[in-house]
Protein backbone atom coordinates (compact mmCIF):
# COMPACT_ATOMS: atom_id res chain seq x y z
CA UNK A 1 0.00 0.00 0.00
CA UNK A 2 1.08 3.60 -0.45
CA UNK A 3 1.21 6.24 2.27
CA UNK A 4 2.79 9.68 2.51
CA UNK A 5 5.36 10.18 5.28
CA UNK A 6 6.55 13.72 5.92
CA UNK A 7 5.56 14.68 2.38
CA UNK A 8 7.26 11.69 0.72
CA UNK A 9 5.24 8.90 -0.88
CA UNK A 10 6.28 5.43 0.32
CA UNK A 11 5.31 1.85 -0.37
CA UNK A 12 4.73 -0.01 2.92
CA UNK A 13 3.34 -3.35 4.03
CA UNK A 14 -0.36 -3.83 4.74
CA UNK A 15 -1.12 -3.76 8.46
CA UNK A 16 1.71 -1.36 9.30
CA UNK A 17 1.20 0.33 12.66
CA UNK A 18 2.29 3.80 13.69
CA UNK A 19 4.68 2.20 16.22
CA UNK A 20 6.41 0.17 13.50
CA UNK A 21 6.58 3.17 11.19
CA UNK A 22 8.33 5.18 13.92
CA UNK A 23 10.91 2.38 14.12
CA UNK A 24 11.20 1.95 10.34
CA UNK A 25 11.72 5.69 9.81
CA UNK A 26 14.41 5.88 12.54
CA UNK A 27 12.54 8.72 14.22
CA UNK A 28 14.84 10.69 16.50
CA UNK A 29 13.71 10.78 20.14
CA UNK A 30 10.61 8.61 19.56
CA UNK A 31 9.54 9.15 23.17
CA UNK A 32 8.99 12.85 22.36
CA UNK A 33 7.45 12.61 18.90
CA UNK A 34 3.86 13.53 18.17
CA UNK A 35 2.27 11.80 15.19
CA UNK A 36 -0.59 12.92 13.00
CA UNK A 37 -2.40 10.68 10.54
CA UNK A 38 -4.49 12.60 8.03
CA UNK A 39 -4.10 15.70 10.26
CA UNK A 40 -5.55 13.88 13.31
CA UNK A 41 -3.31 13.51 16.36
CA UNK A 42 -2.59 9.93 17.44
CA UNK A 43 -2.18 9.32 21.18
CA UNK A 44 1.27 7.88 21.90
CA UNK A 45 -0.18 5.04 23.97
CA UNK A 46 -2.14 3.88 20.88
CA UNK A 47 0.77 3.80 18.40
CA UNK A 48 1.02 0.00 18.61
CA UNK A 49 -2.62 -0.59 17.70
CA UNK A 50 -3.12 2.26 15.23
CA UNK A 51 -3.00 0.60 11.80
CA UNK A 52 -2.25 2.73 8.76
CA UNK A 53 -4.31 2.48 5.59
CA UNK A 54 -3.66 3.03 1.90
CA UNK A 55 -3.51 6.74 1.13
CA UNK A 56 -2.84 7.87 4.71
CA UNK A 57 -0.65 10.90 5.29
CA UNK A 58 1.66 10.75 8.33
CA UNK A 59 3.64 13.57 9.89
CA UNK A 60 6.09 13.49 12.81
CA UNK A 61 6.04 16.60 14.98
CA UNK A 62 8.24 17.76 17.83
CA UNK A 63 7.10 20.45 20.23
CA UNK A 64 10.04 22.37 21.61
CA UNK A 65 10.00 24.69 24.56
CA UNK A 66 11.96 27.86 24.56
CA UNK A 67 11.73 31.56 24.58
CA UNK A 68 13.55 34.77 24.02
CA UNK A 69 16.95 35.25 25.57
Averaged pLDDT, groups of 10, the chain, 69 residues long: 97 97 93 95 97 98 72
Is residue 21, in this structure, part of any structural domain at all? yes
The CA distances from residue 30 to 19, 33, 36, 55, 68, in Å, are 9, 5, 14, 23, 27
pLDDT at position 63 is 77
Is residue 13, in this structure, part of any structural domain at all? yes
CATH code where residue 42 lies: 3.10.20.30
How many domains is the chain partitioned into structurally? Answer: 1
Is residue 44, in this structure, part of any structural domain at all? yes
State the residue range of the domain holding 38: 2-61
pLDDT at position 28 is 87
Q: What global pTM score does this model have?
A: 0.89
Is residue 68, in this structure, part of any structural domain at all? no
C-beta of residue 42 within 8 angstroms of C-beta of residue 18: yes
Amino acid sequence: MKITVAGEKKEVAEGLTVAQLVIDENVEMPQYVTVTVNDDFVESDTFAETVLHDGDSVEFLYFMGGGAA
